[in-house]
Amino acid sequence: MQVIKKIVITGPESSGKTTLTQQLARYFQTQWVPEYARIYLEELDRPYLQDDLLTIAIGQVTLEDSQSQSVRQYLFCDTGLEVIRIWSLVKYKEVDPQIEYLLKNRSYDQYLLCAPDLNWEPDPLRETPNEPERWQLFEYYQQELQRLGIPWSIVSGEGEARLQSALRGIRTEE
């Protein structure tokens, strides 16, 4: 049985995570896992609540597990549970213990942290358009990835340069 390498693309809102995840999946000819929060929130007919974050976390894990069954070498995840943990701390000042448990017991090989060095793109699901807030969130992500102790690297630049930055990050961890 071949072991797959699970790589999470993470970072603040509007930092190019989805685009980069799709580019990496194309480059390596593999599958990618969408951000379950977006799927869930687009169907929600009310503002989300703190309790919704656990539902989102479980949905993300379910998607990852489902997609990992059909890949051979790499699985790229458009965000992971660290996003839910950070968002819970920022918005609600606490994290559901079940989210902490899920994050602690997930196995990832690497994180690619997207710098918020791209222009902000408005989206009804995004909440932090201000430049200083985006960079403060980026610092939270760095702290969280250090806490998790899983290899990570920062991805920056625009377009092809951003993809090449990610590829260098992946290659340095192989």
Distance CA 116, CA 155 (A): 9
Would you call 14 helix, strand, or coil by DSSP? coil
Residue 72 pLDDT: 81
Residue 12 pLDDT: 92
Task: Indicate if the pLDDT at residue 118 is higher than 80.
Answer: no
Residue 133 pLDDT: 86
pLDDT digits (tens, 9 = 90+) for 16-74: 999 999 999 999 999 999 999 989 999 998 888 999 999 999 999 999 999 988 888 99
Distance CA 72, CA 132 (A): 40
Residue 14 pLDDT: 85
Domains along the sequence of the chain with CATH: 5-172 (3.40.50.300)
Task: Indicate if the pLDDT at residue 174 is higher than 60.
Answer: no
Task: Indicate if the pLDDT at residue 134 is higher than 80.
Answer: yes
Q: Exposed, middle or buried: residue 94 (CB in 10 Å: 0-12, 13-18, 19+)?
A: exposed
Residue 114 pLDDT: 96
The pTM (predicted TM-score) of the whole model is 0.90
